[in-house]
Structure 1
Amino acid sequence: MRSAISSARRPAVTVVLGFAVVVVIGTVLLTLPIASARGQPTDLVRALFTATSAVCITGLAVVDTAQHWSLFGEIVILALVQAGGLGIMTLASLLGLLVSRRLGLRMRLSAQRETKSAGLGDVRTVVLGVVVLSLTFEFVVATILVTRLFTGYDHSFGEALHSGVFHAVSSFNNAGFALFDDGLTAFVSDPWICLTIAFSVIAGGLGFPVFLELGRRLRGKQAWSVHTKLTVGTTLLLLVAGFAFITISEWSNEDTLGAHAPPTKLLAGFFTAVMPRSGGLHALDIDAMNSESLLVQSALMLIGGGSASTAGGIKVTTFAILAFVILAEIRGEPSVHVMGRKLAASTQRQALTIALLTVALVIGATAALLSMTDFALEAVMFESISAVATVGLSTGITPDLPPAAHVLMSVLMFIGRLGPITLASALALRDRPRRFELAEVRPIVG
């Protein structure tokens, strides 16, 4: 038993240590004088926070990215974002492959019938697939952004290239970093910029397994699996619901959508609804939004994007699974069925565990930050969820938090990024049959 537990934990420990090493390297590089625009060393806490935010592809910042960091510092941040994005997608996909290969024969045959394939493939296929997918999307997005910035704005080609590439990498990796002082508010009415970045965030948040299946589907080789259907369907549902609610809520708010023409309101409403899935960029003043809009964005941030993607949160599949569990319980059904398949009890337990632990982490983080600051509960909770779900949206209070709070938020970003992946894989790898059952008991519920 001890060896089984050790082997289950080993992949998770390797992932955590690997990302921790990258954070340390990034922190050291960002403390160098050459990384600062003023040529002075950046203090350790700010460097650590920025490195963690970049590697964990969050986007929260304690300093102005464009003003504080030099070109070298921005390149370091971009490299950390790229490493974090590729690492998350690759490692999550590989862990999923490892879990599938560690399942029993009956479960593996069932999975083959479901996906019409043997799995994600070997390690080389997964790694090359993730790299090619990421670089292809980033190249296309960068080309559109560079062209638009060069032809439609007062940007030299060098400036357009710099900004276009940076925001392409940041958006596809759901990193949330921007090179403009006010985020993307200057482009709130520009569909070329907003829609390109929005769809880049959506693509990055779907996950490599989904794109692998979509590619096979286009070639007529297989139908969509339940995972892909859940990911795509839930993503579309949340986008439509978020867009409708935020747009209606902010329509008359003069500090956000109210000052714009109807076409811009719709564009900005859609952009704002996309970003909580883990994009982290903003074209409206988050702090000026209504409380109900902040609440909905908090919920969307907590849910996040797809599994094995660059998005954070508990993941849309986890949210969808819990919804099916609740529906089955309301109907009084003895088992949970999802799209013509019976949902494994172990999957239900894993989804519930991840969701409740994430909520507990948010509550604990909010309580800790409230004890360190004098900010309102609404702003502190929004910031806590943004850190735990690795989103990067902010009401603007992060730079004003004390150093102890910055260290705490660095830990939250690290746990929020790696926690769901490592926990899910560890739970799945430790799954083992029970040789006997105890007498059933039914405590009073409710």
Structure 2
Amino acid sequence: MTGFGAAVLLGTLLLALPVATTTGESAGWLTALFTATSAVCVTGLVLVDTEAHWSMFGEIVIAGLFQAGGLGIMTLATVFAVLVAGRLGLRARLAAQAETRTLSMSDVRQVLRKVLVFSLVCESVTAVVLTVRFMTGYGEPLGRAAYLGAFHAVSAFNNAGFALWPDSLMRFVADPWICLTIAAAVIVGGLGFPVVFELARSWRRPSRWSVLTRITVTVTVILIGSGTLVFLGAEWHNPRTLGPLDDGGRLLAAFFASVMPRTAGFNSLDITAMTPSSWLATDVLMFIGGGSAGSAGGIKVTTFGLLAFVIWAELRGENRVNVGHRRVPESAQRQALSIAAISVILVAVSTYVLLVLTPHSLDQVLFEVIAAFSTAGLSTGVTAELSPAGHVLLLLLMFVGRIGPLTLGSALALKERQRRYELPEERIIVG
């Protein structure tokens, strides 16, 4: 939490400098703070047009912030300590393990090196494809194409959602080279490093996958597939979204719209023109989010998937929750339930407060709140119109959503306490 707070503070100071804007005037502390928080928390919500308002210096600062936020402030600090000191203490290992979500203490340094190399390789490949496309398809000169490719590659892989066009990626709605490349980077970045590493080792042997990988991959495929079908059905005849496109373009745009709520924040369709049913579907996808150890936000697909297995076991009358050939401990079930319950309460309370502070409708306010909490960054276009109090509420939601509601609770509790006695059991009426 301290590392993210320090990064936000540093980003705010840099973005508040006159050199960070195209006009040469300070952006103002609230705009700088909101943008820095959105970048570090890899959200993508903005108060001003990124390309028109920020200078190249400001854009580079923003890119650096969401790169740092995506990899994790503690990961960068730990790698820096390894490179400088050549050794890693127990406290640093624990910090690195917590940030990278590794499942064992063994050889954390090697894991961190793999994380950095894998991230840079993915971002580089994405940047090369985008650069070539911008040059050959849109006539951009090499320097400009490389800059656009690198910025959006880093933004996509880290699920940040910052774009250098005022309409995000709407101008590329029917371009598979742009949309599929960015969607692939978003999916890989949102799966989580432990899942990606395990898939690289045993992608041909699903029977050997861990419970984490099984749930992450299965739920991700189901959510993307069902989301695509929902958007196709809801927007097929909408003249302001899918209507003007051919069948291939509609399928591509619906798929892209289904991937982005994993907390990426890009959009190739006009969010404000979507039907209320599409807004609701996007709310659900944003709230669930991506993988537990990736750069995505939300309650995570593993939390959602585990709760589904808990419900299924309860419906079948089983007193144990099994995934594949493994039993899930009760502590993990309680953790998943706690994360979901805390998140629902936080979203509900924040939505009520923002309704009091703004004249906008419930569906718009709920969309903005979930987008901020899940660090998705999609917007119905009302973020910039909110009052300063509303902006503060959203940036707090972004920060809490990035560090995780249960992480915040764990930081307050410090450690788990073992009760030395058991009280008499009493059944209560449920439902």
- Residue 121 of structure 1, CA deviation: 3.3
Once the two structures are superposed, the pairs formed by residues 136-147 of structure 1 within 5 Å of their partners are 136-147=121-132
Q: What secondary structure does 1:128 align onto? A: helix
Once the two structures are superposed, the pairs formed by residues 75-154 of structure 1 within 5 Å of their partners are 75-87=60-72, 90=75, 97=97, 119=104, 121-154=106-139
- Residue 168 of structure 1, CA deviation: 0.2
Q: Is the 8 A contact 1:88 1:308 kept in 2?
A: no
- Residue 243 of structure 1, CA deviation: 0.7
Rounded Cα–Cα distance in structure 2 between residues aligned with 1:241 and 1:420: 27
Sort the Cα spacing of 1:120 and 1:316 in 2 relative to 1 into closer, same or farther, 3 A: farther
Q: Is the 8 A contact 2:4 2:73 kept in 1?
A: no
- Residue 254 of structure 1, CA deviation: 0.6
Sort the Cα spacing of 1:337 and 1:375 in 2 relative to 1 into closer, same or farther, 3 A: same
Q: Does 1:35 align with 2:31?
A: no
Rounded Cα–Cα distance in structure 1 between residues aligned with 2:393 and 2:240: 31
Rounded Cα–Cα distance in structure 1 between residues aligned with 2:382 and 2:55: 24
Sort the Cα spacing of 1:335 and 1:220 in 2 relative to 1 into closer, same or farther, 3 A: closer
- Pick one of 198, 209, 228 that aligns with 2:183: 198
Rounded Cα–Cα distance in structure 1 between residues aligned with 2:411 and 2:317: 31
- Residue 216 of structure 1, CA deviation: 2.4
Rounded Cα–Cα distance in structure 2 between residues aligned with 1:334 and 1:220: 29
TM-score normalised by the chain length of structure 1:
0.88
- Residue 434 of structure 1, CA deviation: 3.7
Deviates further, 118-127 or 311-320: 118-127
Sort the Cα spacing of 1:204 and 1:126 in 2 relative to 1 into closer, same or farther, 3 A: same
Sort the Cα spacing of 1:343 and 1:221 in 2 relative to 1 into closer, same or farther, 3 A: closer
Q: Which residue of 2 aligns with 1:106?
A: none
Q: Which residue of 2 aligns with 1:285?
A: 270
Sort the Cα spacing of 1:166 and 1:335 in 2 relative to 1 into closer, same or farther, 3 A: same
Q: Which residue of 2 aligns with 1:7?
A: none
Rounded Cα–Cα distance in structure 1 between residues aligned with 2:231 and 2:170: 17
Once the two structures are superposed, the pairs formed by residues 264-343 of structure 1 within 5 Å of their partners are 264-343=249-328
Q: Which residue of 2 aligns with 1:48?
A: 33
Amino acid at match of 1:235: T
> How large is the RMSD of aligned CA atoms in angstroms?
2.5
Rounded Cα–Cα distance in structure 2 between residues aligned with 1:393 and 1:124: 35
1:19-66 Cα offsets, whole Å, 9 max, x none, are 101100000000000000111001100100000000000000000001
- Pick one of 354, 362, 370 that aligns with 2:339: 354
- Residue 231 of structure 1, CA deviation: 0.6
Q: Is the 8 A contact 2:257 2:269 kept in 1?
A: yes
Q: Which residue of 2 aligns with 1:243?
A: 228
Q: Does 1:182 align with 2:167?
A: yes
- Residue 133 of structure 1, CA deviation: 1.2
Q: Which residue of 1 aligns with 2:395?
A: 410
Sort the Cα spacing of 1:320 and 1:94 in 2 relative to 1 into closer, same or farther, 3 A: farther
Rounded Cα–Cα distance in structure 2 between residues aligned with 1:424 and 1:308: 18
Rounded Cα–Cα distance in structure 1 between residues aligned with 2:46 and 2:340: 26
Sort the Cα spacing of 1:331 and 1:96 in 2 relative to 1 into closer, same or farther, 3 A: farther
Sort the Cα spacing of 1:407 and 1:156 in 2 relative to 1 into closer, same or farther, 3 A: same
Sort the Cα spacing of 1:126 and 1:89 in 2 relative to 1 into closer, same or farther, 3 A: farther
- Pick one of 362, 370, 392 that aligns with 1:385: 370
Amino acid at match of 1:317: T
Sort the Cα spacing of 1:317 and 1:118 in 2 relative to 1 into closer, same or farther, 3 A: closer
- Residue 423 of structure 1, CA deviation: 4.4
Deviates further, 280-289 or 428-437: 428-437
Sort the Cα spacing of 1:99 and 1:51 in 2 relative to 1 into closer, same or farther, 3 A: closer
Question: Structure 2 stretches of 5 or more lacking a match?
Answer: 79-92
Sort the Cα spacing of 1:169 and 1:100 in 2 relative to 1 into closer, same or farther, 3 A: closer
Sort the Cα spacing of 1:202 and 1:180 in 2 relative to 1 into closer, same or farther, 3 A: same
Amino acid at match of 1:169: V
Q: Is the 8 A contact 2:364 2:380 kept in 1?
A: yes
Q: Which residue of 1 aligns with 2:424?
A: 439
Once the two structures are superposed, the pairs formed by residues 68-79 of structure 1 within 5 Å of their partners are 68-79=53-64
Which is bigger in relative contact order (C-alpha 8 A, separation at least 6)?
1
Identity %: 55
Rounded Cα–Cα distance in structure 2 between residues aligned with 1:142 and 1:421: 35
Question: Structure 1 stretches of 5 or more lacking a match?
Answer: 1-15, 102-116
Q: Which residue of 1 aligns with 2:217?
A: 232
Deviates further, 20-29 or 397-406: 397-406
Q: Is the 8 A contact 1:388 1:413 kept in 2?
A: yes
1:71-105 Cα offsets, whole Å, 9 max, x none, are 0000000000101011169499966846999xxxx
Q: Which residue of 2 aligns with 1:13?
A: none
Rounded Cα–Cα distance in structure 1 between residues aligned with 2:221 and 2:22: 41
Rounded Cα–Cα distance in structure 1 between residues aligned with 2:8 and 2:267: 25
Amino acid at match of 2:148: S
1:101-122 Cα offsets, whole Å, 9 max, x none, are 9xxxxxxxxxxxxxxx983632
Amino acid at match of 1:47: A
Q: Which residue of 2 aligns with 1:398?
A: 383
1:142-171 Cα offsets, whole Å, 9 max, x none, are 000000001110311111111111000000
- Residue 368 of structure 1, CA deviation: 1.1
The number of aligned residues is 416
Q: Is the 8 A contact 2:3 2:73 kept in 1?
A: no
Once the two structures are superposed, the pairs formed by residues 3-14 of structure 1 within 5 Å of their partners are none
Once the two structures are superposed, the pairs formed by residues 8-27 of structure 1 within 5 Å of their partners are 16-27=1-12
Q: Which residue of 2 aligns with 1:252?
A: 237
Q: Which residue of 2 aligns with 1:108?
A: none
Q: Is the 8 A contact 2:43 2:376 kept in 1?
A: yes
Sort the Cα spacing of 1:254 and 1:99 in 2 relative to 1 into closer, same or farther, 3 A: closer
Q: Is the 8 A contact 1:120 1:126 kept in 2?
A: no
1:263-309 Cα offsets, whole Å, 9 max, x none, are 10000000000000111100000011011111011000000000111
Rounded Cα–Cα distance in structure 1 between residues aligned with 2:105 and 2:131: 34
Q: Is the 8 A contact 1:350 1:424 kept in 2?
A: no
